Structure 1
């Protein structure tokens, strides 16, 4: 069987079917709603298929009846059930706990990996829609969501359904004293919605391990077929996992429940579609783990899965550059242990997508958070990257990594966070923060020297980096009247960077570069050519801080550059 020819029973394989269920593809099909006899056929055939699947939830079902029912649920029947989503009024037919349990039983019959083919994925889709419908019905919100769906275009039916589910779930997170009631949700609606489907504990256990054991295919399906909202499933499983904590040893609990749940949860966090409050609900679930936040990863992961996760991390940050720096570090902690040999070419992209987040965080979050997050990230990143480096071997990805450090102005980022630290040092313990800043400088310099030193020098000269760094060094020179933080560490930090780049003879080599040239703005300068110092206030060029001081002393009006 080839990837382009579907199997009669299983449908297309994982390499093909996700593209058939993207949000765009689903929306296009929803716009082409069936009418007439075909619509009538689906209205009759789909409930029959739902009934067959629901029978699988019967615990008294014998082996013969079980096998007969499994065989009777064909790919065609699953598609007929999903055709009901063409009309908002049909979503109430999914609100059946037996349908949820039956789909889980059906998926568990697919060996060894339920999501390897289209059949298993359609089982998952039906189950997720049914579980969310149960949540909405139990929360007295299903009718409200259906009315919302009727008020939008047909291509927005599913996204409105997922948004409504996430909205109801988010009510669980609202503080009753300060939260705003959700429109259309009854104030008397039940709490603890995770028990909504009234599912057997074993069904929830089975679902958890179905998703975990096939998490590679699940991740591919969710990443490419971006039309499925899993916040309801993850919310219900979270409640189940929490309920198992009582009376268990921490190691056993972590191994049997928290670990499997978290691996599925965090993978979905990287590819969550933008359905209203769906991303917000997932952020909450990830930020509020059941018990512990440290997760021991599984022993092995294949290259394909590792590459998918790294690409998803990079794409997520490129699409969400305003993500919180602390949340970004948390996401990297999840991806970092899964970076394996064979993925080296993706490492520069990971760094290139992460650094802008720290730049964007400077104006939003407290300096202490940015400094701590940056130090943590650079430490983890350098520790992860080090084993991939081969001494004496030229590796293209190392060159690209170095380019990302320079292109993203990482030295300037270090200066900026130290300036923020100095401006608010009264509010924090300086000693601890100084250690973090030292860590940032050391780790960054170490990363910069990953590539051959001469390449770094050539690259910095070409991009004008030495020109800028030299000017910063002049500005932050102790005793300079233009130094905004006379007691700061910026000058020492820049010296450390230059020493790392040029070695022990860095001062002589720096002087020989003659990076900046200009005419000294001090009219009393005896040698006004080849000026190298730029005033941080006016932008005027001087040959030294002494000339700057003289110019300001004797000028009636401080000079400025227009």
Structure 2
């Protein structure tokens, strides 16, 4: 339902005009003076009592004042005015004035006022961080583009340095000195940038209003300044709470979701830094068992954001970010939004192909990507929700049709074919993890789509499946035992996927027909090969008679020493 603009809070976040803040603005003296005065008014609220801000003083700060202050962020000559830490506290207090007011549709992120307070907070935070990192002047020197606002460059530099801060943390270095929470390497201590209590307040405001928070950040363009600096501050806040707060894991789970929500709509630079925050605050256990959407509208927004990002952001196809984003997407599908799932699957496979084709199978991350991608795909299909979301037949059909049309089985085949034999124990274990992830995908698919439907959809793939099967059957000949083991395991994984997709009867039938036809046999494998065996065996002591091919139409009349497909599959369990 659309509401007219509120006399104090302005228009709703859905209805606000997406006026770009990207253009540079070299303010004339009058506008600069108005901006400085506005900033001073806002700054003074930090030293006043919270009650006065809530009742009287806060009312003096209107949308026009907030806009005037933010204008200072668009020019290189005026950006220095925003290096004003008290403004941070004031912006949080002003956002707090919006909280919980009637009508219930008004929240800190639902209307223009709260959004402007937050936007001003972010640009001031970014300027203060860069000033303390001694990078502000460097950014201004680099601002040679006369078209873009300065806060864009500042936001990008903050994202870059946040990534460096997480690298420093991994090597044991400290980074909290920039927030004034510890001394720097030279022993100097900065004043506290923002008290932990204020960070906690903002954290809770965002969490309680996370649906509108995502909506406010989701125009899918760079019309909003980057939040990686804030995500860094939140991550360090959680690290401090871990030392004293028994409920720090609950806070960590909230940050994990907030960061995932933002990563869905952030641009490439901001998303890279935000994924560092996500990795530093990984959750386990119960977090993955509960839905993450507030309501159906929120579910639709999350799924739509994922689709939009993969559709419009070419750079994301060169990263490992989509599988990370699926952690939130998979837990945000409900009965009313499952019609979006086929499109989610479509773009996930599209990403998988692009990333796959860009990788060199000689690179160390090839096996890691295959496992990471397929595990995320399995999670998307069958997340551990209680109760689970049941896909209706129409959704089931669309999902598997997308898989067929986008060549997912070809993707799996190619992954197995390009998998290199391990030369060390660790490499062999990594290959085993890949096999397991592919089989897990098959199992996950059978949990949401009946096997008869899978057989109907993928049955026409059997001739192609057979070629790959024969490839693995013929490769081991003349190789070392390690190579033979490697290709056996690849072949076994390929067989297991076929079984899970319900293709075993069609494969048996195809194999029988294939081996009645000499030309077909020559085109697909060994002339006298056994279709039920992983290896290519000619008529010797393991293949003693050909009655199954020449006399009896069934594979299973073949010598018992050459196991049929189902026997081989049922006996295959090593490493899985």
Q: TM-score, normalised by structure 1?
A: 0.75
Tell me if 1:304 matches 2:297: yes
Tell me if 1:208 matches 2:208: no
Deviation at 1:129, TM superposition (A): 0.9
2:245 alignment partner, SS class: coil
Q: Equivalent residues in 2 for 1:489-504 (5 A)?
A: 489-500=489-500
Q: Is the 8 A contact 2:330 2:383 kept in 1?
A: yes
The equivalent of 2:555 in structure 1 is: none
The equivalent of 1:163 in structure 2 is: 156
The equivalent of 1:466 in structure 2 is: 462
The equivalent of 1:80 in structure 2 is: 68
C-alpha separation between the residues in 1 aligned to 2:424 and 2:160?
A: 42
C-alpha separation between the residues in 2 aligned to 1:196 and 1:203?
A: 15
The equivalent of 1:232 in structure 2 is: 229
Q: Is the 8 A contact 1:125 1:228 kept in 2?
A: yes
Q: Is the 8 A contact 1:141 1:168 kept in 2?
A: no
C-alpha separation between the residues in 2 aligned to 1:293 and 1:8?
A: 45
Q: Is the 8 A contact 2:26 2:76 kept in 1?
A: no
Q: Equivalent residues in 2 for 1:289-300 (5 A)?
A: 289=281, 296=287
The equivalent of 1:97 in structure 2 is: 85
Q: Is the 8 A contact 1:170 1:281 kept in 2?
A: yes
The equivalent of 2:244 in structure 1 is: 247
C-alpha separation between the residues in 2 aligned to 1:508 and 1:497?
A: 15
Q: Is the 8 A contact 1:209 1:260 kept in 2?
A: no
C-alpha separation between the residues in 1 aligned to 2:129 and 2:189?
A: 8
Q: Is the 8 A contact 1:471 1:532 kept in 2?
A: no
1:384 alignment partner, SS class: coil
C-alpha separation between the residues in 2 aligned to 1:399 and 1:78?
A: 51
Deviation at 1:136, TM superposition (A): 1.9
Q: Is the 8 A contact 1:449 1:456 kept in 2?
A: no
The equivalent of 1:56 in structure 2 is: 45
CA-based RMSD: 4.1
Deviation at 1:230, TM superposition (A): 0.7
1:533 alignment partner, SS class: helix
Distance 1:406 1:102, change over 3 A: same
C-alpha separation between the residues in 1 aligned to 2:109 and 2:454?
A: 46
The equivalent of 1:346 in structure 2 is: 340
C-alpha separation between the residues in 1 aligned to 2:305 and 2:34?
A: 39
Q: TM-score, normalised by structure 2?
A: 0.74
Which shows bigger deviation, 437-446 or 464-473?
437-446
Deviation at 1:425, TM superposition (A): 6.0
The equivalent of 2:270 in structure 1 is: 278
C-alpha separation between the residues in 2 aligned to 1:66 and 1:414?
A: 59
Q: Is the 8 A contact 2:421 2:428 kept in 1?
A: no
C-alpha separation between the residues in 1 aligned to 2:127 and 2:429?
A: 54
C-alpha separation between the residues in 1 aligned to 2:232 and 2:170?
A: 23
The equivalent of 2:214 in structure 1 is: 219
C-alpha separation between the residues in 2 aligned to 1:353 and 1:12?
A: 34
Deviation at 1:142, TM superposition (A): 2.1
Distance 1:162 1:91, change over 3 A: same
1:109-148, Cα deviation, whole Å (9 max, x unpaired): 1022111101111111111111111112222222332333
Tell me if 1:423 matches 2:421: yes
Choose the corresponding residue for 1:321, options 317, 322, 340: 317
Distance 1:345 1:417, change over 3 A: same
The equivalent of 1:506 in structure 2 is: 506
1:263 alignment partner, SS class: helix
Deviation at 1:493, TM superposition (A): 4.5
The equivalent of 1:444 in structure 2 is: 442
Which shows bigger deviation, 500-509 or 479-488?
479-488
Deviation at 1:45, TM superposition (A): 2.1
2:70 alignment partner, SS class: helix
Deviation at 1:90, TM superposition (A): 0.9
Tell me if 1:131 matches 2:125: yes
The equivalent of 2:488 in structure 1 is: 488
The equivalent of 1:553 in structure 2 is: none
Deviation at 1:69, TM superposition (A): 1.6
Q: Equivalent residues in 2 for 1:258-277 (5 A)?
A: 258-274=252-268, 277=269
1:226-247, Cα deviation, whole Å (9 max, x unpaired): 4221111122222222222213
Tell me if 1:141 matches 2:135: yes
2:317 alignment partner, SS class: coil
Deviation at 1:173, TM superposition (A): 4.1
Total equivalences in the alignment: 499
Distance 1:527 1:42, change over 3 A: closer
Tell me if 1:122 matches 2:116: yes
The equivalent of 2:396 in structure 1 is: 398
1:8 alignment partner, SS class: coil
Q: Is the 8 A contact 1:378 1:440 kept in 2?
A: no
C-alpha separation between the residues in 2 aligned to 1:65 and 1:450?
A: 53
2:145 alignment partner, SS class: coil
Distance 1:398 1:99, change over 3 A: same
The equivalent of 1:44 in structure 2 is: 33
C-alpha separation between the residues in 2 aligned to 1:55 and 1:100?
A: 11
Q: Is the 8 A contact 1:138 1:196 kept in 2?
A: no
